[in-house]
A and B are shown apart, each in its own frame.
Chain A
Amino acid sequence: QKEVEQNSGPLSVPEGAIASLNCTYSDRGSQSFFWYRQYSGKSPELIMSIYSNGDKEDGRFTAQLNKASQYVSLLIRDSQPSDSATYLCAVNIKSGMDAGGTSYGKLTFGQGTILTVHP
């Protein structure tokens, strides 16, 4: 089983529709969850982070987390052609701690879902 798995794409939605992107993860101890957007030829850009169960809204984006089901999703309302990109789910599977007691994160990424919003 992959540590982080995203729904297979590509996903195509019409402009103005809701795009739904899903992600499951294997480690029940995971605490931090992130969605990144990556345009072709560019680096990943953080768009949402979520740490507790429930919904988190930011503009047209809503992240949903259900730790019991080990499931995190991203909804994009009123989808625009400019939202066309690859969306990466990332989970902080393991956090490290150095000798001095300072923590750092280790993200595991899903394979990405390609979203196309057509006019």
Chain B
Amino acid sequence: ETGVTQTPRHLVMGMTNKKSLKCEQHLGHNAMYWYKQSAKKPLELMFVYNFKEQTENNSVPSRFSPECPNSSHLFLHLHTLQPEDSALYLCASSRRGYEQYFGPGTRLTVT
């Protein structure tokens, strides 16, 4: 595997479910990011981890819970989501403050 991978690619969940998104980067980067992309809206930064320490939380609701066990893996745990949380969730990584590389994304639908 190369680059940034994300699983699952598609997820449909009910409002009472609990699920997790997984991201893995094979680039040796120190920083990892979660973004949300909704239709007709710019990419929204959700969380930033630098060497597995959370450094940014952009006022994200607590129903989204990130986890970064090491600098190569990043998870986003989801629980009691709302239909408006349906979106494309993107993971990215970067080396220091340079270019960010994105994974393929998880298309999430909350029913």
Q: Which residues of A contact B (CB under 8 A)?
A: 4, 31-32, 34, 36, 42-46, 49, 88, 90, 92, 95-96, 98-100, 102-112
Contacts and interface: CB of A to CB of B under 8 A. Distances in A.
Contact of B45 (A34, A36, A49, A106): A106
8 tightest Cβ-Cβ pairs between the two chains A and B: A104-B31, A105-B97, A109-B43, A43-B102, A104-B50, A95-B97, A103-B97, A43-B105
Interface in B69-111: 88, 90, 94, 96-105
B99 A49 contact: yes
Among A32, A34, A46, A106, the most chain B Cβ lie within 10 Å of the Cβ of A106
Contacts of A42: 104-105
Given A98-B51, A102-B51, A34 B42 contact: no
Given A103-B97, A106-B48, 6 more contacts: A32-B97, A42-B104, A98-B51, A102-B96, A110-B42, A111-B41
A110 B44 CA distance: 10
Interface string B55-81: 110000000000000000000000000
B42 A112 contact: yes
B96 A107 contact: no
B7 interface: no
A107 B98 CA distance: 10
Nearest to B100: A107
A96 B55 contact: yes
Interface of B: 30-31, 41-43, 45, 48, 50-51, 53, 55-56, 88, 90, 94, 96-105
A103 B100 CA distance: 13
Contacts of A31: 97
A100 B90 CA distance: 27
Contacts of B100: 34, 46, 90, 105, 107
A104 B45 contact: no
B1 to A, nearest CB: 16
18 contacts: A31-B97, A34-B99, A42-B105, A43-B88, A43-B102, A43-B104, A44-B43, A45-B102, A46-B101, A49-B99, A96-B55, A100-B51, A102-B50, A103-B97, A105-B31, A105-B94, A105-B97, A105-B100
